[in-house]
Structure 1
């Protein structure tokens, strides 16, 4: 497989992950309710009671808040929108990774920034440590394909400069 094809395959994976992550932020209350039902119907409730307790706290919080203040969900709508816009930004590297390498580097910086945000905001908001680890995993797992894309982009850049050299 050619270098550009690999770059594009990894970028498609990354873009799809961003879109899925974003779209799932829209129906948050329904997803948490479904997740709670699934957890209660499986042995996970016995294996990880702390997880079930936390999901229940989140479910009650969302249900109560949305019942009285449905406009609060608008905040997660913007979160979803941001994911979609970030995904769109990666169309540039998909089209021309060498010229748009800065988008890849910016994405890597954003992935790294997820970790202190989760630690600081999660602590301030009283989130359990396990939940903060899940949030930090988005940055950790997100940076992996971008590192691969950056390395492949550097390789493509060398290949292109060698092809142009006399």
Structure 2
């Protein structure tokens, strides 16, 4: 995808006077809000990978307490299987938790990469595009590695939903960045035309 300024779909920008500074500031605020939401969710998904044993134990108790074990025996069996596997693995081989520690750290590092788009979304639009590709990569990863690791199909869809849901704010942000890029290009052209008049 080209980084050159093009008129976004549905844009009504027709000239330098139709992209006032107030509109640009509004677009920037909206971009920051959507990116902040994405970063917070990404950081939380990373932080929750640290206390994995506690969380799987709480999840198993929650399934039992809410009656989901009777409504969905497959879900109940899987949750308890995971709880036992994590408890046994972490108990007998605590170094296994080190792997999920790095998983959590990776999420936090990825979240930190969005500092660039938060500061200058147009210049750092590549971060948003890279994240969109990563969201798309979640689907083949789940479909290929899930069966190899014995993950039930319904849980593979849960995993894939993170990529599907995660790409939504990124698509919204990307569209707004293209709008902002166009507004900046129009404003730059207008300023240049005033400083360097045609002969």
TM-score range, shorter chain: over 0.9
Q: Is the radius of gyration larger for structure 1 or structure 2? A: 2
Partner residue in 2 for 1:101: 125
**Could you list the runs of 4 or more consecutive aligned residues of structure 1 that deviate by over 3 angstroms after TM superposition?**
none
Per the TM alignment, residue 154 of structure 1 is displaced from its structure 2 partner at its CA by 0.1
Distance in 1 separating the partners of 2:73 and 2:179 = 48
After superposition, the C-alpha distances for 1:21-61 in whole angstroms (9 at most, x for unaligned) are: 00000000100000100110112222111111100000010
In terms of fraction of residues, the more helix-rich structure is 1
How many matched pairs?
A: 166
Paired residue for 2:99, among 61, 72, 75? 75
Tell me which residue corresponds to 1:56: 80
Q: In 2, Cα distance between the equivalents of 1:21 and 1:67?
A: 23
CA deviations 1:96-151 (Å, max 9, x no partner) are 00000000000000000011011111010010001100110111111110000100
Structure 1 gaps, min length 5 = none
Unaligned runs of 5+ in 2: 1-22, 191-199
- Within the alignment, does 1:14 sit opposite 2:24 as a pair? no
CA RMSD of aligned residues (A): 0.9
Distance of 1:91 and 1:142 partners within structure 2: 17
